[in-house]
């Protein structure tokens, strides 16, 4: 082969730089940057490409530089005081001392500061009060509903004053001289709310009506004005008109 042809072929296979110098055929590195990740690609002299993942592409579980949540517990615990101050509760609410000590230990183990622990106590008090008041609220709503039903009743509503007066008289007659029994019964009606129940009121009204309905008038003898003393003879006018004054 002619030397000039061999030289031409060799020069065709030679990579040159922008200045015309012969480029090194060793390993070259090309860095490709995308919008989200940064990846370094190595181009070998055989044409193969090796990709290296940067720290930005590593998953959370593979971030060895940062400690796991469990290993960070010591840092969180630094916010807990040696001993918590007495927790504040609303007036009328009492936090059991034993419970306070127990939750204090839990709060300290969780690394909660005084303010953080107090916020949890406030939440507990709020939920406890709502749970405590819920049955009373239900009872009160029931009372309101019964009162509305009584007033709307076609029989009880128009004569409510008469009905309550008759029931009061009937209860007094039934109790007799036992005033304490009568008072206890009235307290029971208020405490249970039965005194507002439409069925209770109607039934007691019917029973009280039977106890208080009119009866015969007992006589007490003739009027003293028409009588005369024993052994005294009546006058002619008196005999004719005994009731004449």
Q: In b/e form, how buried is each residue of 123-132, taking b as 16+ CB within 10 angstroms?
A: eebeeeeeee
Q: Are the C-beta atoms of 194 and 186 separated by less than 8 Å?
A: no
Number of domains in the chain: 2
Please calculate the CA angle 116-117-118 and round it to the nearest 5 degrees: 90
How far, in Å, CA of 226 to CA of 150, rounded?
Answer: 54
Is 24 part of a structural domain of the chain?
no
Q: Which of 219, 221, 244 is nearest to 234 (CA)?
A: 244
How far, in Å, CA of 61 to CA of 74, rounded?
Answer: 20
Which residues on adjacent β-strands are paired with residue 31?
Answer: 40
3-state helix, strand, coil in the chain (%, to 5): 55, 10, 35
205 and 157 in a common domain: yes
pLDDT of residue 143: 94
pLDDT of residue 65: 53
121 and 171 in a common domain: no
Handedness of CA 225, 227, 229, 232 (dihedral sign): positive
Residue count (the chain) = 245
Is 234 part of a structural domain of the chain?
no
How far, in Å, CA of 160 to CA of 154, rounded?
Answer: 10
**Domain final residue, candidates 96, 131, 166:** 131
Is 240 part of a structural domain of the chain?
no
pLDDT of residue 128: 87
How far, in Å, CA of 28 to CA of 20, rounded?
Answer: 18
Is 94 part of a structural domain of the chain?
yes
Tokens 């517990």 -> residue: 73
pLDDT of residue 27: 45
Instruction: Give the number of other CB atoms < 10 A from CB of residue 212.
Output: 16
Instruction: Give the number of other CB atoms < 10 A from CB of residue 141.
Output: 10
How far, in Å, CA of 87 to CA of 123, rounded?
Answer: 12
Tokens 């204090």 -> residue: 104
pTM value > 0.75:
no
How far, in Å, CA of 42 to CA of 44, rounded?
Answer: 6
Q: The domain containing residue 187 runs over which residues?
A: 153-212
Instruction: Give the number of other CB atoms < 10 A from CB of residue 143.
Output: 13
Is 139 part of a structural domain of the chain?
no
198 and 165 in a common domain: yes
49-53, strands of its sheet edge to edge: 28-33, 38-43, 49-53
Task: Report mean pLDDT in 10-residue bins for the chain, 245 residues.
Answer: 48 55 51 45 47 53 54 56 88 84 88 91 89 88 94 93 92 92 93 92 92 62 58 70 69
Is 57 part of a structural domain of the chain?
no
């Amino acid at each position: 082969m002619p030397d000039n042809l061999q030289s031409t072929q060799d020069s065709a296979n030679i990579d040159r730089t922008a200045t015309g110098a012969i480029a090194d055929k060793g390993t070259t590195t090309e860095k490709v940057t995308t919008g989200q990740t940064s990846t370094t690609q190595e181009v070998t002299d055989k044409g193969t490409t090796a990709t290296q993942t940067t720290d930005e592409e590593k998953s959370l579980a593979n971030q060895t530089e940062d400690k796991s949540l469990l290993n960070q517990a010591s840092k969180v615990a630094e916010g807990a005081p040696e001993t918590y101050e007495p927790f504040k509760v609303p007036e009328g609410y009492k936090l059991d001392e034993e419970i306070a000590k127990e939750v204090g230990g839990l709060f300290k183990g969780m690394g909660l500061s005084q303010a953080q622990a107090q916020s949890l106590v406030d939440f507990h008090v709020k939920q406890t009060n709502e749970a405590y008041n819920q049955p009373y609220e239900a009872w009160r709503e029931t009372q309101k509903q019964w009162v509305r039903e009584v007033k709307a009743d076609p029989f009880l509503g128009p004569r409510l004053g008469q009905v309550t007066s008759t029931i009061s008289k009937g209860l007094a007659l039934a109790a007799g001289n036992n005033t304490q029994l009568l008072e206890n019964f009235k307290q029971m009606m208020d405490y249970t709310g039965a005194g507002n129940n439409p069925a209770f009121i109607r039934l007691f009204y019917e029973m009280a009506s039977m106890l208080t309905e009119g009866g015969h008038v007992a006589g007490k003898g003739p009027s003293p004005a028409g009588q005369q003393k024993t052994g005294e003879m009546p006058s002619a006018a008196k005999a004719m008109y005994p009731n004449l004054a």
